[in-house]
Amino acid sequence: MMYQAYQAQSDLMWPLRTLAKLAVPMLQDRGFGFATQPSTRQIAAACRVLELAAITHKRPPWRIDAVLVKGERVPVVEELMLTTPFASLLRFRKPGAPAQPKVLVVAPMSGHFATPLRDTVRTVLQDHDVYVTDWHNVRDVPLAAGRFGLDEYTAHLVDFLAGMGPNANVIAVCQPCVAALAAVSLMSEDQHPATPASLTLMAGPIDCRISPTEVNKLATTKPIGWFEKNLISHVPWRHGGGGRRVYPGFVQLSAFMSMNRERHANAFKEYYQHLVDDEFDKAEVTRTFYEEYLAVADLSAEFYLETVERVFQTYDLPRGELMFRGRKVDPAAIRRTALVTIEGERDDICAVGQTLAAQDLASSLRPYLRTHYVQPNVGHYGVFSGKRWQNHIYPLVRDVIHISQ
């Protein structure tokens, strides 16, 4: 009943949020004398806060229209290359740009869409032909499309790389590092023609036994049956994926927000005050962040439960027990793909050493194909966004990719 209760609450709030949205233009219309009154500005600000606080279930736009290439502004066009019921392979094409190395950016499926990697994609796009795993909201995927678990996630990566063709490169961010390493291991063992030239794993949980964080410990406090009983719900029949078992995105969002409840409350208070004071530039920063943060995507129950159990509880990959459709995954099969592992010194989600473990698992790689880097003074998100990512981490990743071509 969890999803049904959430849907009922959302439906009850819809008229109020709609009224608030429609009221703002009128309250701010300076053609009316009351628009400049302090009380009117306060009401308008309150309406905009109420509007912003709504959880949404559609992917925000990427908002990458152009990028600098060698100092020149080059337009960017989004192209749909491949699609399945569960994901799209999206390409950011630069018309007229010279040929550049192909890179697949593998986004997490963790309660949000792929767009929080906007800074990652925009940065990599300067020197590369960039593709992204654009995961769909599972609540919109019909039951007839079948299951989607860790095996299906891994298979998508193999299929997308096959669609991109030979000599591509992979950058996996956070959660999908396990699936990315598995996919490249399988392709290497099969001598697949599209086996990537390089694999970059960024802040990913390859071996959560190493310096376990609070997030890692939380996953081991309960048996997998508890997660299935208490966190899995059915999508209401009104949606495209009606009846599908999911880990709702709003549950994951609630968990994230509860860890920093005071910070989020203060952010909305400041947003209200910025609007009242006509500080619209400051207000826009908050609005942009929360429009992204409050856009949630459901995870299929199979994928969520298998990830919790096989990655965070039984540590299948580092123990040599990870299976893909009845076949054991062997990272030692990787022999020609350059491996880069990146970690953040202050990462409290994926601790230092957990991603580095991939280097030991890929035991057949020669030293010149291995690179490891720990970025000082950054947490989890600083590994793939922000100034240190742009100025320190990305140049290292770029150089390995270009050497591998």
pLDDT mean for each 10 residues of the chain (405 residues): 85 82 70 62 86 90 91 93 98 92 96 94 97 97 97 98 97 97 98 98 97 92 95 94 95 82 90 88 90 93 98 98 97 98 96 98 98 96 95 97 93
CA distance 255 to 217: 15
At 66, is the secondary structure helix, strand, or coil?
strand
- For residues 294 and 302, the answer to whether their CB atoms sit within 8 Å is no
- For residues 308 and 219, the answer to whether their CB atoms sit within 8 Å is yes
175 CB-side CA count, 13 A: 19
Residues 6+ away with beta carbon under 8 Å from 389: 119, 120, 123, 375, 378, 382, 383
Tokens for 322, please give them.
């990870």
CA distance 385 to 373: 16
Q: Which domains does the chain have, with CATH numbers?
A: 2-54+249-293 (no CATH), 66-218+299-404 (3.40.50.1820)
At 240, is the secondary structure helix, strand, or coil?
coil
Tokens for 342, please give them.
């990146």
Per residue in 141-195, pLDDT (tens digit) is: 999 999 999 999 999 999 999 999 999 999 999 999 999 999 999 999 999 999 9
Strand partners, 373: 342
Nearest-Å Rg of the Cα atoms of the chain is 22
Per residue in 231-280, pLDDT (tens digit) is: 999 999 999 999 999 999 999 888 878 877 898 999 999 989 998 888 88
> pTM (2 decimals)?
0.93
- For residues 98 and 148, the answer to whether their CB atoms sit within 8 Å is no
